[in-house]
Amino acid sequence: MNQALFLRDNVSFQDEHPAAGDSRDELLAGLRAEPKTIDPKYFYDALGSRLFARITRLPEYYPTRTEVGILHRHRQQIAAHCGVSCVFIEPGSGNCEKVRLLLDAVRPSLYVPVDISSEFLRAAALQLGGEYPWLAIAAVCADFNASWDFTRRLPLGKRVVFYPGSTIGNLEPADAVRFLARVKEVVGAGGGALIGVDLHKDSACLTAAYNDAQGVTARFNLNVLLRLNRILEADFEPAQFRHRAFYNTDRQRIEMHLVSQCEQSVGCNGSRLRLRQGESIHTENSYKYTVQGFAALAAAAGLALERSWLDDEALFSVHYLRAT
Ligand SMILES: C[S@@+](CC[C@H](N)C(=O)[O-])C[C@H]1O[C@@H](n2cnc3c(N)ncnc32)[C@H](O)[C@@H]1O
């Protein structure tokens, strides 16, 4: 485990970013698979994180404003479930916007934002630490699907994992159960998890949220190719691909793809990668749940649903789960 450095007196930063060789191997395995895939964590370089922050403010993107409304409205009840002075761990913390809605009510003894996007995380943690001088922040750059070893160094006390944004929907349901089981292990008996989950709804509303009129989601999706160019010394040309997002009704998930616009052969890691015209690279899923479906998923991981909060239109949900 790497040493944490202090960025300011109330903010430390620990870098546990996966090794470059691991990223290369994982990306190449995905690109050689049939169909081709890229893990969505590769979206989040500094530009990808900024583009995602823009997506959250788009008129079509209902999840963020709806979840923000739920967190703000129910912050006191949420704080009561979290208890006094918990250690608040947020995997996939992004710009740390949502935690701001809870800090004054929850008053954690320590806030631990965890994200794969190193530079963005440092900036977000520093900014938050300046705005909340009373708050101790221990930021960790790590892959939350790999090691949670950093939690071994955390102080004693009740732990609550805060996982908003329906980031859980990016995982296959079986992987979501594994992720929640890890959360259970990390928080221990009596600990909790506060999780934001997007709900089933009309497919037109879902499809619009991932196909915004300004094309920001398309830029976000295509930006991953520039990331691949850097990591794999590849020469993907974004103009030769098209963003495609649709609701897969059978699987109850939004799928995002990059579709090759022509037959092409792309230089990649010292060899050639062939793509047919119309062939797609699958870049993200976003599963949608019912409250009952999500409660069953959590129960399979040993987390009991204590309370759910929904907006008036039942577009989005936030759940407090207790480790049994
Ligand atoms: C959908 S965004 C959600 C951001 C924020 N939590 C919100 O609710 O708006 C996903 C966040 O998780 C981070 N992320 C994605 N995959 C990750 C991984 N495997 N390990 C750590 N962070 C990851 C991204 O960098 C990004 O900040």
Measuring CA to CA, which residue among 209, 186, 230 is closest to residue 288?
A: 209
Does residue 227 sit in the same domain as residue 125? no
| 26 within a domain of the structure (yes/no) | no
Ligand 1 centroid, distance to 92 Cα (angstroms) = 3
Q: Looking at the whole model, is its pTM more than 0.95? A: yes
Whole-number Å distance, alpha carbon 48 to ligand 1 midpoint, is 11
Q: Is residue 231 part of a domain?
A: yes
Residues 98, 232 within the same domain: no
Nearest 10 degrees: Cα torsion 261, 266, 268, 271: 140
Q: Are residues 79 and 136 in the same domain?
A: yes
275 three-state secondary structure:
strand
Residue 144 Cβ < 6 Å to ligand 1: yes
- Please indicate, yes or no, whether residues 113 and 217 belong to a single structural domain of this protein: no
C-beta 44 within 6 A of ligand 1? yes
| Per-residue model confidence as pLDDT tens digits over 43-76 | 999 999 999 999 999 999 999 999 999 999 999 9
Region 114-129 average pLDDT: 97
Is residue 49 within a helix (H) or strand (E), and if so which, with residue range? helix 46-55
Instruction: Count the residues in the chain.
Output: 324
In a domain, 92, yes or no: yes
**Mean predicted confidence (pLDDT) in 231-257:** 98
Residue 18 has pLDDT above 90, yes or no: no
| 112 and 220 fall within a common domain | no
Q: What is the pLDDT of residue 20?
A: 83
Instruction: Identify whether residues 227 and 91 lie together within a single domain.
Output: no
Whether 187 and 212 share a structural domain = no
- Whether the CB of 23 sits within 6 Å of ligand 1: no
Name which residue sits closest to atom 17 of ligand 1, judged by CA: 41
CATH of the domain at 119: 3.40.50.150
Is residue 306 situated within a structural domain? yes
Q: Is 225 found in the same domain as 265? A: yes
> Same domain, yes or no, for 82 and 164?
yes
In a domain, 274, yes or no: yes
Is any ligand 1 atom within 6 A of the Cβ of residue 94?
yes
Q: What is the pLDDT of residue 122?
A: 97
**For 136-158, what is the mean pLDDT?**
95
The range of the structural domain enclosing residue 170 comes to: 4-20+51-199+288-323
Percent of the chain with pLDDT over 90: 97
Q: Which atom of ligand 1 is nearest the CA belonging to 196?
A: 8
Mark whether 56 and 187 lie in a shared domain: yes
Spacing, Cα 91 to ligand 1 middle (Å): 7
Q: For 157-167, what is each residue's pLDDT tens digit?
A: 999 999 999 99
Mean pLDDT of the region 224-237? 98
Band of pLDDT at residue 21, cut at 50, 70 and 90: confident
Number of domains within the chain:
2
Cα of 173 from ligand 1 centre, angstroms: 17
User: How far is Cα of residue 214 from the mean position of the Cα atoms in its chain?
Assistant: 22
Strand partners, 113: 90
Q: Are strands 241-248 and 253-260 parallel, antiparallel or unpaired?
A: antiparallel
pLDDT surpassing 90 at residue 152: yes
Residues 193 and 72 reside in one and the same domain:
yes
The phi and psi torsions of 111 (rounded to 5 degrees) equal -115, 130
Does 93 sit in the ligand 1 pocket, CB within 6 Å?
Answer: yes
Element (H, E) at 62: helix 62-73
178 and 305, same domain (yes or no): yes
Give me ligand 1 centre to Cα 241, in Å.
24
237 touches 265 (CB < 8 A): no
- Report if residue 25 sits inside a domain: no
Say what percent of the chain tops pLDDT 70.
Answer: 100
